Structure 1
Amino acid sequence: MSAAPRSRLRIPKVPFWAQILGGLVLGVLFGWVARNWEVDWLGTSLTKIGETFIQLLKLAVAPLVFFAIVISITNLRKVSNAARLATRTLLWFMATSLIAVAIGLTIGLLTNPGAGTGLSAEDGAEPESAGSWLDFLTGIVPTDVITPFTELNVLQIVFMAAVVGIAALKLGPKADPLLVFGEAVLALLQKALWWVIRLAPLGSLGLIGTAIKDYGWDLIGQYATFTADIYIGCAIVLFGVYPLLLATVAKVSPLQFFRGAWPAIQLAFVSRSSVGTMPLTQKVTERLGVPKEYASFAVPFGSTTKMDGCASIYPAIAAIFVAQIFGVDLGVGDYLLIAFVSVIGSAATAGLTGATVMLTLTLSTLGLPLAGVGLLMAIDPILDMMRTATNVAGQALIPVIVSAREKILDLDAFNSAKSFSLDELEWDESPAPAQAEEPEPRAERPQPLPV
């Protein structure tokens, strides 16, 4: 008698990717209706939904980044050859950034994205704020400990967190109370952010709906070549370069990597925030067999500095686009300068939605008019989805490559990786007592490395 009611009330689970896709489709539909039929209340609702989702993601960014960096640095003491792993991680970040910027420059030179757009210098507008090398270098060190958190200056937060993390390593056991507190706060933030992540389908509806409502398809047509260049460049890196590195350098299956990393990649596409996706990126990286102690360092580090989409492909193509609109000829030296800015200045993007700071940094370094930023702001939300998905894929890729090269990758975990739902991940992060009593626990993650 009791089984029948339960079966009638059972609601089938909808895969997360299907929820995201449904949100995107409905967003496009509602945005089109709001624009073409001038349904003001619908347009306002879409904007509020999208803005609220982004605000919820940003709400936890400052403390999340701070405690994630502090804990990740102190966790390195649990890993053998920590300095070697950190150095190799940074070198691979730089190497893949160079590859990405080279692809962006090649595509831009072959397609001439600024030609035939109908846009002119008069269509641009100076941005309210711009990045410069002086601001970048001097702005790393904060004037006080409060302002970086209130103004959400992620670069300064990373600097303070690095100082605290290194100091905690030097203090040793005396810093244990601080680290215990930090781990508890980090767990609370990740749990809260997890609830926000579950709202991603609704957020995608609002964000894509607002883009269609505000700009329509005409704008996309006007920027057709530029938009196609960004998506093609990111796709080449995401589905060409990354699989090649996995197969030849790490000697693991690219298909297995994408099966495991896909939840983080699709969330990045919707949220347009590497930092907001960071907890999920770290989860999928661990499930791909990367040691937890190393993943807890590499992923937060990458979420604030590893930006192949926003800091390599995008500024390379955007610089060519702006130069062509304003009639400026770029030479070989300029292209080398773009590569330099992409590798060294990528931390300026700081894992937040959009890449305006990185773009202004590139344009100012090349001496191009900053009014060119105004030409690209309208189309930016649509571009940022693909850019961020590429960023996050790279942030999961490098730990896998380094772990494989260092022989610390759990191949059993990697080879068994598959696409999974958020419910499965949430179960993993909430350990149940019954699981500890299983006679044959599954080895989903490698054992801690010897000190």
Structure 2
Amino acid sequence: MSSFSAPLAAVRRVPFWVQVVAGLVLGVVLGFVARQYGVGWLDTTLDTIGSVFVGLLTAAVPPLILTAIIVSVANLRQVSNAARLAGQTLLWFAITSLVAVTIGIVIGLVTNPGRAADISTEGATFDGGSGSWLDFLTGLVPANFLGLNVDEGGASFNALQLVVLALVIGAAVLKVGEPAEPFLNFMRSALSVVQQVLWWIIKLAPLGTLGLIGRAVSQYGWDLVAPLATFTVDVYVGCAIVLFVVYPLILRAHGLSPVKFFSGAWPAIQLAFVSRSSMGTMPLTQRVTNRNLGVPLDYASFAVPFGATTKMDGCAAIYPALAAITVAQLFGIDLGLQDYLLIAFVSVIGSAATAGLTGAVVMLTLTLTTLGLPLEGVGLLLAIDPILDMMRTATNVAGQALVPTVVAKREGLLDESVYNGRRDDPLGGAPEVREPETAAA
């Protein structure tokens, strides 16, 4: 037994970020080998490892949303400015989205990605449906207790419906008062258990990173990117400007260090890049927002899940703006000032209209239909969508951590000793266990 305990102890002493980077590098190498030499079993293995990891994270999202928001709403009876917090959160969601879509439009007008594309529109088709402005209203009402949807592809959940359901139950707990204490204590205990399970899953991130990035490298090469190279570069540059210019400027304007923000949020941003799932990354985003950035847990438990369904600067602002300009140029359609204003409007408001629905394609189809552009253009962009989705999702998640941090700072709730603290462990140590008698303090 001792022969195994020594290597295991040595691995545990390696900083978590080093483990993740090692998984990233090894994944790139294995993905390159699988693609270059056609090693099918290796490609399948990488795909399985990555899919299982994201599946584990996604499976933990419903109980996390339900328990965390119910407990958080119940704890808000001690907070006098709860409504103001919610309003500030929505306001900053809109402000950052407006800045992001403006950047996307400017880059598109400067680079003309559609005219530079080496791709034909002949035979282009898309029959995957489109986003609708009514999706927001229908998405608010849970179809059943947990907002579950079952079809031929299996069971799935609507995150926005879960958020609404949890808010209603939390409000009912507040209304009922003392008789609801046993139920509330159960929710607190359940939340502690869910947090512990999530901690175990998150510790698998190095292995999950290996599988996810390895699969991406093995599947997508330059031959797919080349025809739409300008568009691809535009999306990455636009997201990078938002990530490393706009967000730091906002942080500086609030007296916060961008370096500390990125060192605290980086585990979630990094996982978002390789997993391409804001919802799958949400448990880690919520964790680092609280444990590394100093946002109160009761507020983070509301703001981060809500942001994961509606706050998407990459998928719902930069990408649809650039994609709409690209599609218009591919089909020889001239856009006017009112069209660009419509793009901005859809990006700021439309992310709420498509909340809880999967993928940037829904947001893109909503943008194209609002502008009257041909949906066939979606089919032309789908081939490289996974490559673009990596940077888009990283931008989404960074914004989902940024807004609660900024709002908490503005409202005097941010624990700056935590925000400015050392990052010995980017995940903030062991999971927080909330005792019933102190949770409402």
TM-score (norm 2): 0.88
Query: Does residue 37 of the first structure (1) align with residue 40 of the second (2)?
Result: no
Alignment of 1:124-139 (within 5 A): 124-139=124-139
How many percent identity over aligned positions? 61
Partner of 1:444 in structure 2?
none
Q: Deviations over 1:193-229 (max 9, x none)?
A: 3322222222233223323333322112223212211
Alignment-mate amino acid for residue 42 of structure 1: L
Query: Does residue 222 of the first structure (1) align with residue 227 of the second (2)?
Result: yes
Alignment-mate amino acid for residue 20 of structure 1: V
Q: Is the 8 A contact 2:134 2:353 kept in 1?
A: no
Shift of 1:96: 0.9
Q: Secondary structure at the match of 1:100?
A: helix
Distance 2:368 2:388 in 1: 18
Query: Does residue 377 of the first structure (1) align with residue 377 of the second (2)?
Result: no
Of the three residues 427, 430, 437, the one matched with 2:430 is: 427
Partner of 1:61 in structure 2?
61
Q: Is the 8 A contact 2:131 2:354 kept in 1?
A: no
Query: Does residue 15 of the first structure (1) align with residue 19 of the second (2)?
Result: no
Partner of 1:242 in structure 2?
247
Alignment-mate amino acid for residue 287 of structure 2: K
Query: Does residue 255 of the first structure (1) align with residue 259 of the second (2)?
Result: yes
Shift of 1:191: 2.5
Partner of 1:290 in structure 2?
295
Distance 1:130 1:329 in 2: 22
Shift of 1:103: 0.9
The worse-fitting range, judged by mean Cα deviation, of 350-359 and 198-207 is 350-359
CA RMSD in angstroms, aligned pairs only: 2.9
Q: Secondary structure at the match of 1:115?
A: helix
Partner of 2:192 in structure 1?
187
Shift of 1:106: 1.0
Shift of 1:241: 0.9
Q: Is the 8 A contact 1:155 1:348 kept in 2?
A: no
Shift of 1:101: 0.9
Shift of 1:310: 1.5
Of the three residues 178, 199, 202, the one matched with 2:183 is: 178
Shift of 1:351: 7.1
Shift of 1:139: 3.6
Partner of 1:47 in structure 2?
47
Shift of 1:123: 5.9
Aligned residues: 431
Query: Does residue 358 of the first structure (1) align with residue 363 of the second (2)?
Result: yes
Stretches of structure 2 lacking an aligned partner (at least 5 in a row): 150-154
Shift of 1:91: 0.8
Partner of 2:152 in structure 1?
none
Question: Kindly tell me: are residues 259 and 208 of structure 1, through their superposed partners in 2, closer, same or farther at Cα, counting changes over 3 Å?
Answer: closer
Q: Deviations over 1:362-403 (max 9, x none)?
A: 222222222222222222222222222212221221222122
Question: Kindly tell me: are residues 413 and 47 of structure 1, through their superposed partners in 2, closer, same or farther at Cα, counting changes over 3 Å?
Answer: closer
Shift of 1:94: 0.9
Partner of 2:307 in structure 1?
302
Shift of 1:100: 0.9
Q: Is the 8 A contact 1:78 1:448 kept in 2?
A: no
Of the three residues 265, 275, 282, the one matched with 1:271 is: 275
Partner of 2:285 in structure 1?
281
Distance 2:388 2:367 in 1: 18
Query: Does residue 337 of the first structure (1) align with residue 336 of the second (2)?
Result: no
Alignment-mate amino acid for residue 272 of structure 1: R
Alignment-mate amino acid for residue 361 of structure 1: L
Shift of 1:448: 8.8
Shift of 1:75: 2.8
* Deviant stretches of 4+, over 4 Å: 3-10, 348-353, 447-450
Q: Is the 8 A contact 2:147 2:161 kept in 1?
A: no
Shift of 1:421: 4.0
Alignment-mate amino acid for residue 254 of structure 1: P
Question: Kindly tell me: are residues 174 and 318 of structure 1, through their superposed partners in 2, closer, same or farther at Cα, counting changes over 3 Å?
Answer: farther
Partner of 1:93 in structure 2?
93
Q: Deviations over 1:266-304 (max 9, x none)?
A: 222222222322232223222323223322222222222
The worse-fitting range, judged by mean Cα deviation, of 379-388 and 227-236 is 379-388
Shift of 1:102: 0.8
Q: Is the 8 A contact 2:294 2:418 kept in 1?
A: yes
Shift of 1:5: 11
Q: Is the 8 A contact 2:239 2:395 kept in 1?
A: yes
Query: Does residue 393 of the first structure (1) align with residue 395 of the second (2)?
Result: no
Shift of 1:147: 5.4
The worse-fitting range, judged by mean Cα deviation, of 142-151 and 218-227 is 142-151
Question: Kindly tell me: are residues 39 and 449 of structure 1, through their superposed partners in 2, closer, same or farther at Cα, counting changes over 3 Å?
Answer: closer
